[in-house]
Structure 1
């Protein structure tokens, strides 16, 4: 191409009989074009740097069904490798934990008011005075219910303001990538701009929540510890302690105006993420300072599992969460046993050819709940007939399910690989934090071996 035919040259070529005004306009257009060109070059360089940095970083994919404990494991990674960042976020978790507490109260009241429950009359006024055998007691529960109404109403308002949720479940649910933490006052490099008026409104409703919760803590504690309420839960075979975000045993502490969340509180807190969210961690410790890793947390809902596949070929390791809770059904499909669903999911992961060269590490999670279930006398064979008459003890039950997962791993993997498993209770921050450090070191060592560097 002739130089005179180059469109980039022609556009800024000095025309004949150019006026001064035209010259100034042409010069400005040329400067603007140069600025845009430099910006494009800088963006391309930044994109290349990010891609290079990502290639050097450890990439981990968290997999498992909904409520398997993925978020708790993620928080343990943050606590282990980025403790200062974890500390900065402490205050925002105060609101989340208080909302978790109120959500448990609402769940409890809904159970007591269920028309199918034998204790429905505990919250429903008798048709005639004194017609209920525990009329004075029922009046007490109805008074508590009425007294908690403003708190429940405020929970609705706060959920709508911060999270745009307020459905029947009242569960805190945030879309992936929504930067929901900034709405609760947390500032990072990507959320420096915030509407001051909205922030003031948020601060006001958070302050109201603290005051109202403190005023209601005696009623909440009385409701939760009441013997008849506990009997009602037992009749319906409901154990709220097994639910994510449970804090009813800590009402006195959490409902206090001076409450500050502990590390354990934050790990136990429940926020459901809808979609795929990637977390970028830069290690702060002296030994690993500057080391980066990307942890991808995907939605475990059955309807969202098709979205996992694009992340398979970009991961150094998969952490698969399999809660050993054999007597629970999926919330999204009450016909499906949770543990059987985990096994089906595990088989799909093990057999996927995209993951043939990927480390798969399985966490047999919620061991604390398994122990409590067995100690309460629940028999495994009633839910898993193939377990037969084996001992109804933690060690035996764990070995049985571990052997099943191990068998599928060996049988279905496209090529031989080690079966790596750990027994965990993700809300136990001391043991799990130590474990994630071990897992991290193992991933590093395996990658070096594959690169023939050791």
Structure 2
């Protein structure tokens, strides 16, 4: 007996769906046209929704296959610099496309250090000025043997009138620093000590707009800083006065004074006397002022990596590997892997704010991350910016313990960067002893090798004792502003992470 098809060739007039789809009995030709058009539009919208669902599914599948890395560490530990090294090493075209935005950040870093230098010199002058003593007046000291007029004050500072004149000529840079800081972070105030941006704020677009505006208004002939101020040949509202807001133009006009003031032996003596080491601060470019304060300045890769920019919040960076094949073995990872499929693979790196107030926001990113690069600067003699009572290295160790024992991260590969080795070497060379800040260090030799081993063993011990399950301990001694040395380290890190990722999906 032949089977009857499920869908009959004739429709049931009593079926509610059939009745709903039938046209009205008295439908006119125009109404029919409208109805058919509405049906076609509904079908088109339905098709678009289906396509969006498929695209979202593909994106979700792609993200599941991507490698996700979380950069952790306290503020100023080097997370953003490590991210830039990753981009430079494995996605160089993307890195260099952002060169113009970074030029303004580097200029702002330079201006901030000039501002700090001027503040130190002003403090030195203010503290050295005093009224003449009674014995001085009793001796009749003054012009032509006459006592000095009332209110006259004398300075014992080694700074001269020439230093004060240079300081005055550099003051046009200060409003530029304030304006750029406000544009990058509108809620910034005097307590903000860094160049800061909020995650997802589109700060690169802001800087691109500033650069485009400056390009549309060519600068006037280069003039000394005094000519950029009102009354020096320009009036408020003129093109010259507007150009005084362009950091490139004003820095170029101030270049000779910047270099002369920074290289002046008296200024260096004052800095040493007041225990100020600008060269140890993030984003230091005063040694390169002659090159950076130029109209045709273009940042180098090293400049961009060294630039200081503090991220507030969590920022996701997605990039595609551009590197070629490599077959390498790295002792710290035990990797011996042909990476022919690596170019084109997607990586997500999450750069999170490291200050204490930002740390609760890390947890949502712990769920499916494959690896954590934890940056711990060996700054045993420094304290946290947000709490001067807390030692920076002690805070790093406490944070490392929290990461090691977190059950959400039990499957993640933990990679420790003992960072800022260059600063550690300079600190020890200056005669600063570890035992003064870390009593448990005892009488061990105060050199880089022993100090590094002491703190590395501390991190290793907590990693072994607190991890929910046994996992290898990976570590590197780094100075992430050294792009060449860091690129070699990151190749090993990349291949180690990739190997762990392939093992997790049962590929190897």
Normalised by the size of structure 2, how large is the TM-score? 0.80
CA contact (8 A) 2:248 2:295 kept: yes
Match of 1:190 in 2: none
> Structure 1 residues 98 and 113 mapped into 2: Cα distance closer, same or farther (>3 Å)?
same
- Judge conservation of contact 2:184–2:196 (CA < 8 Å) in 1: no
For the aligned residues, what is the CA RMSD? 2.8
TM-aligned CA distance change 1:258 to 1:230, over 3 Å: same
Residue number among 294, 311, 326 corresponding to 1:256 in the alignment: 294
Pair 1:156–1:107, CA change in 2 (3 A) = same
- 5+ residue gaps in structure 1? 186-193
Q: 3-state SS of the aligned residue for 2:68?
A: strand
* 1:281 alignment partner in structure 2: 319
1:180 matched to 2:219? The reply is no
Counterpart of 1:296 in 2: which secondary structure? strand
CA deviation string 1:124-143 (max 9, x = no partner): 999955711358x3433332
Cα deviation for residue 284 of structure 1 reads: 1.4
User: 1:52, CA displacement in angstroms?
Assistant: 1.1
Q: Which residue does 1:339 correspond to in 2?
A: 393
* Alignment correspondent of 1:324: 378
Question: Using the alignment, how far apart are the partners of 1:155 and 1:166 within structure 2?
Answer: 12
Alignment-derived partner of residue 265 in structure 1: 303
Equivalences for residues 12-91 of structure 1 within 5 A: 14-91=23-100
Hey, what's the Cα distance between the residues in 2 that align with 1:134 and 1:145? 15
Shift in alpha-carbon separation, 1:37–1:383, aligned structure 2, 3 A: same
Matches within 5 A, 1:130-141: 131-134=154-157, 137-141=159-163
Cα deviation digits, residues 32-82 of structure 1 (max 9, x gap): 322322222222111111111111111111000011000111111101111
Say whether the 8 Å CA contact 1:240–1:246 is kept in structure 2: yes
Matched, 1:109 2:163: no
Q: 2: distance between equivalents of 1:177 and 1:43?
A: 24
Contact persistence 2:313–2:358 (CA under 8 A)? yes
CA distance in 1, matches of 2:302, 2:216: 25
1:382-406: CA deviation from partner (whole Å, max 9, x where unpaired):
1111111111100010001001111
Give 1:148-159 correspondences, 5 Å limit.
148-159=170-181
TM-score normalised over the length of structure 1: 0.89
| Alignment CA distance shift 1:13-1:80 (3 Å) | farther
With 412-421 and 227-236 compared, the bigger mean Cα shift is at 227-236
CA contact (8 A) 1:113 1:123 kept: no
Paired with 2:129 and 2:251, the residues of 1 have a C-alpha distance of: 21
SS at match of 1:237: coil
1:94 counterpart (94, 97, 103):
103
Name the CA shift for 1:198/1:43 in 2 (closer, same or farther; >3 Å).
farther
Larger radius of gyration: 2
Query: Which residue number in structure 1 is paired with residue 126 of structure 2?
Result: 120
1:391-448 per-residue CA deviation (whole Å, 9 max, x = no partner) reads 1100010001001111111111111111110000000000101111110101111223
SS in 1 for 2:374: strand
Q: Distance in 2 between matches of 1:379 and 1:341?
A: 19
The number of equivalent residue pairs is 437
Matches within 5 A, 1:289-308: 289-308=343-362
- What is the CA-CA distance between 1:238 and the residue it aligns to? 2.5
